[in-house]
Chain A
Amino acid sequence: MTLAKTPLYDWHHAAGGRLVDFGGWSMPVQYTSIIDEHNATRTAVGMFDVSHMARFRFDGAGAGDFLDKLLTRKASVVPMGKIRYSLVCNDEGGILDDVLIYNLGEGDNQYFWLVVNAGNRQKIAAWIEQHLPSEGVVFTDHTLETAMIAVQGPKAIAAVQPLCDVPISDLKYYSGALGTLCGEPALISRTGYTGEDGVEVTVPAAAAIAIWDQILNAAQPLGGLPCGLGARDTLRLEAAMPLYGHELSESIDPITAGLTFGVSFDHDFIGKDRLEAARDAAPPMVRVGFRCADRRVPREHCTVHIGDQQVGEVTSGTFSPTLNQPIAMGYVDPAIAVSGTAVEIDIRGKRVAAEVAPLPFYSRPRT
C-alpha cells in the first residue's frame, strides 16, 4: 500500500525526519532526539505536523441532530466557538474512535467540524455515510485540502500570536476561532495532545510549508523545535491521554476506559443503552498508570501480575523524559486499581517491580 503524504512531507524529508508508517501516512517519528523534542515542548515550543488526522465538516439544518445521534456528546448544544471531546460508539457501545467536535462559523454560515484519528478516517467516514439522513446534512471530508499543525508548550502562544489576527489569549482551553494566520484563512483552536498549553492550526494545504516555516522561525529563538510522533507519544502518555488502538478500541466502552466525562446521557446516541448498562454496573477493569523503579520499559501487551495471578495488561508504555523513569498505562482488575499497589510487569519473560500510579503522570504548572 502506498503511504499518504501530508502537505508537509517534503519539509520533513528535507529536514532529515525519520519517516514511518502511521495510520497509513508517512510521518516523521523524530528529527533529532525524542527526548530533546519532548523537553522542548515541555519548556518552550514543540511543533507537530498533525495533518494526518482526518477533518470532516457538517453543514445543513439537520447537522446538529445527526451528530447528536453519532456522538456520545450532544453536539447540538456545544456553544459557538467551543470544542468538545467525544466518542463514536458502535451499537454494542464499543469505541469506534475518539474525536473532537467543533461548533464553528456564525449565523447562516454555522457548521460543525470533526477531527478524527488518522487510522480511523475511512472507517468513520463509512460509518457516517451509513447513518447519514437522505437530506438536511452535507458531509464533506477536508483532510486532503488542509494541513493541521500543533504548536504546543509554554511559549507556543508567544510564537503564534504575532502571525495571527485571532487574539489567542482570549480563547479559552477547548475553544476555536476562524481567522487569518500568515495571511491565510485559518482555524485556530486552543487544543492539543501534549498536556501543555498551545494551539492547533488548520490552514490550506498549499500554504502549509510557508506557514510551518514562519511559525518555526518564531519558535526557534524561544527554544522551539519541530517534533515527531515519538515525542507526541511520550508527551501524551505523561499527560495520560488515551490513544486509539492502545487504550481505546471497539472491544472497550467509554465508561470502562475512564472517559465518562466524554459521554452525556441526556440525548439518544448509538450505543447509549450499552453505555448506561456499563455506567450502572461494576466496572470489569479500570485504566490506571504504572511507574517502574527499574529502567526496563513496559510496552503494549506486557502482562501485569501479583504473585501468580495475572491482574492486568499494559496498553502503552514508554520512558518518561520528565520523570526519568519508565511509565505505562493499562487496564487492571478494579480491586487493585489503588495508587501505590505493588505489582510486577512481565517484560519479555522477566518480571520487573512496578506500582499502580495516579494519572496523569504530568500536569503542567498552572499560571
Chain B
Amino acid sequence: MDPSQLLYAKTHEWAFVEDQDGGKVATVGISAFAIEALTDLVYLELPKVGSQTTAGQPFGEIESVKAVSDVYAPVTGEVIAVNEELPNKLESLNDDPYAGGWIAKIKITDESGLANLLDQPAYEKQCQEEG
C-alpha cells in the first residue's frame, strides 16, 4: 500500500478503498503515527468476519504495555475478511503498518462517511499538530 494513496480517519486508522463487484471495499489498518505512539504492542483484537462496522465506532482494540486503545472503523459496512496472522506478528506493524499490517477488509454499505476521511497531506498536518 502506498501511504499517499490511502485515506485516514482522525482517530489514526487508514483505509484503502477500491471498487469490487460493483461496490466499494476498504482495506483498513492503523497508521504508522499511531503505531509509533503506542509502541510495545502486546495484543490486537480483530473484528469478526460478518460483523457490521459503523464509521467512527470501535471495531477492535489494540493493547500496548502501557494502555489499551480502541480501534475505530474508518468506514461503515460489513467485515468480509480479517488478517488472522497479524495478532501473532504485531512487531511487523512497527516495520510497515501499510503492507502486511492490514486488519480487515470491509464491504462498504454506506459511502456517506467517506467524505469525513482525510487525504495524506491533511492527516500528516493533524499528526504534526498532535506532536
Residues of A within 8 A of B (CB): 29-30, 32-35, 230, 234, 295-297, 299, 318-319, 321, 326, 348
Task: For residue B65, give the distance in angstroms from its CB to the closest CB of chain A.
Answer: 5
Task: For residue A117, give the distance in angstroms from its CB to the closest CB of chain B.
Answer: 20
Task: For residue A323, give the distance in angstroms from its CB to the closest CB of chain B.
Answer: 12
CA distance A29 to B40 in the complex (A): 13
Given contacts A230-B40, A319-B42, 9 further A-B contacts (CB under 8 A): A230-B65, A295-B42, A295-B43, A296-B68, A297-B43, A297-B65, A297-B68, A299-B68, A319-B65
B68 touches A33 (CB 8 A): no
Which of A32, A230, A295, A296 meets B66, CB within 8 Å?
A230
Q: Which residues of B contact A234 (CB under 8 A)?
A: 65
Q: Which residues of B contact A321 (CB under 8 A)?
A: 65
B66 touches A33 (CB 8 A): no
A35/B65 contact (C-beta < 8 A), A295-B42, A296-B43 known: yes
CA distance A348 to B45 in the complex (A): 12
A34 touches B39 (CB 8 A): yes
Is B63 part of the contact surface with A, judged by Cβ < 8 Å? yes
A295 touches B40 (CB 8 A): no
CA distance A321 to B39 in the complex (A): 13
Of all chain A residues, the one with the shortest Cβ separation from B66 is: A230
Q: Which residues of A contact B65 (CB under 8 A)?
A: 34-35, 230, 234, 297, 318-319, 321
Q: Which residues of A contact B68 (CB under 8 A)?
A: 296-297, 299, 348
User: Please, what's the 1-or-0 string for B44-64, where 1 marks a CB less than 8 Å from any CB in chain A?
Assistant: 010000000000000001011
Specify which of B39, B42, B61, B68 lies most central, judged by the most chain A CB atoms within 10 Å of its CB. B42
Q: Which residues of B contact A297 (CB under 8 A)?
A: 42-43, 63, 65, 68
A35 touches B43 (CB 8 A): no
A33/B39 contact (C-beta < 8 A), A230-B66, A234-B65, A319-B65 known: yes
CA distance A272 to B39 in the complex (A): 46
Closest 8 CB pairs of A and B: A295-B43, A319-B42, A34-B65, A319-B65, A34-B40, A35-B40, A33-B39, A230-B66
Residues of B within 8 A of A (CB): 39-40, 42-43, 45, 61, 63-68
Q: Which residues of A contact B39 (CB under 8 A)?
A: 30, 32-34
Interface of B is mostly: strand
Of all chain B residues, the one with the shortest Cβ separation from A324 is: B42
Task: For residue A248, give the distance in angstroms from its CB to the closest CB of chain B.
Answer: 21
Task: For residue B71, give the distance in angstroms from its CB to the closest CB of chain A.
Answer: 13
Of all chain A residues, the one with the shortest Cβ separation from B63 is: A297
CA distance A326 to B40 in the complex (A): 13
Task: For residue A163, give the distance in angstroms from its CB to the closest CB of chain B.
Answer: 31
Of all chain A residues, the one with the shortest Cβ separation from B45 is: A296
Of all chain A residues, the one with the shortest Cβ separation from B39 is: A33
Task: For residue B58, give the distance in angstroms from its CB to the closest CB of chain A.
Answer: 10
Task: For residue A237, give the distance in angstroms from its CB to the closest CB of chain B.
Answer: 11
Task: For residue A320, give the distance in angstroms from its CB to the closest CB of chain B.
Answer: 9
Of all chain B residues, the one with the shortest Cβ separation from A35 is: B40
Task: For residue B37, give the distance in angstroms from its CB to the closest CB of chain A.
Answer: 8
Q: Which residues of A contact B42 (CB under 8 A)?
A: 295, 297, 319, 326
Task: For residue A302, give the distance in angstroms from its CB to the closest CB of chain B.
Answer: 11
Q: Which residues of A contact B43 (CB under 8 A)?
A: 295-297
Q: Which residues of A contact B63 (CB under 8 A)?
A: 295-297, 319
Q: Which residues of B contact A30 (CB under 8 A)?
A: 39, 66
Some 6 contacts from A to B, beta carbons below 8 A apart, are A230-B40, A297-B65, A299-B67, A318-B65, A318-B66, A319-B42
Q: Which residues of A contact B67 (CB under 8 A)?
A: 299
Q: Which residues of B contact A230 (CB under 8 A)?
A: 40, 65-66
CA distance A296 to B65 in the complex (A): 10
Q: Which residues of B contact A318 (CB under 8 A)?
A: 65-66
Task: For residue B38, give the distance in angstroms from its CB to the closest CB of chain A.
Answer: 11
CA distance A326 to B43 in the complex (A): 10
CA distance A29 to B38 in the complex (A): 12
Q: Which residues of A contact B40 (CB under 8 A)?
A: 33-35, 230, 319
Specify which of A297, A299, A348 lies most central, judged by the most chain B CB atoms within 10 Å of its CB. A297
CA distance A59 to B61 in the complex (A): 54
Task: For residue A45, give the distance in angstroms from its CB to the closest CB of chain B.
Answer: 20
CA distance A296 to B64 in the complex (A): 10
Specify which of A295, A318, A321, A348 lies most central, judged by the most chain B CB atoms within 10 Å of its CB. A295
Specify which of B43, B61, B66 lies most central, judged by the most chain A CB atoms within 10 Å of its CB. B66
Q: Which residues of A contact B61 (CB under 8 A)?
A: 348
Q: Which residues of B contact A29 (CB under 8 A)?
A: 66
Task: For residue B30, give the distance in angstroms from its CB to the closest CB of chain A.
Answer: 17
